[in-house]
Amino acid sequence: EDKVVQSPLSLVVHEGDTVTLNCSYEVTNFRSLLWYKQEKKAPTFLFMLTSSGIEKKSGRLSSILDKKELFSILNITATQTGDSAVYLCAVEPYSGGGADGLTFGKGTHLIIQP
């Protein structure tokens, strides 16, 4: 059974701080790891990672994958109150045939205080 564990489960920091969110996983046939940001409604896509050691960046957010140690981190620098959300990590298995659904972690609830 595929498994995704995120840590910490919740985190409170001050505006301007840098945060690192962790995601470890177990999956039978790994295809990709994805990060999502969830506010009030459905998750919004942040990153898709398929290769080890290649950092993906989008503004103040960046993420990297380690396929040997089976984990990924999501970094947010110079945090803003708008970054407050639940950050979800998910893995997509490779089925070889049709598409597969994602297995999500429980998320990290990030709160940025002004």
Partner 1 sequence: GAVVSQHPSRVICKSGTSVKIECRSLDFQATTMFWYRQFPKQSLMLMATSNEGSKATYEQGVEKDKFLINHASLTLSTLTVTSAHPEDSSFYICSALLDRGETQYFGPGTRLLVL
Residues 42-71 that bind partner 1 (CB under 8 A): 42-45, 48
Nearest CB to partner 1, comparing residues 101 and 114:
101
Nearest CB to partner 1, comparing residues 45 and 69:
45
With CB under 8 A as the rule, give the number of residues binding partner 1: 20
The full DSSP string for the chain is --EEEEE-SEEEEETT--EEEEEEEE-SSEEEEEEEEESSSS-EEEEEE-STT--EEETTEEEEEETTTTEEEEEE-S--GGG-EEEEEEEEE--SSS----EE---EEEEEE-
Nearest CB to partner 1, comparing residues 82 and 101:
101
In the set 34, 49, 65, 85, which binds partner 1 (CB under 8 A)? Answer: 34
Judged by the rule CB under 8 A, the positions of this chain that interact with partner 1 are 34, 36, 41-45, 48, 88, 90, 98-107
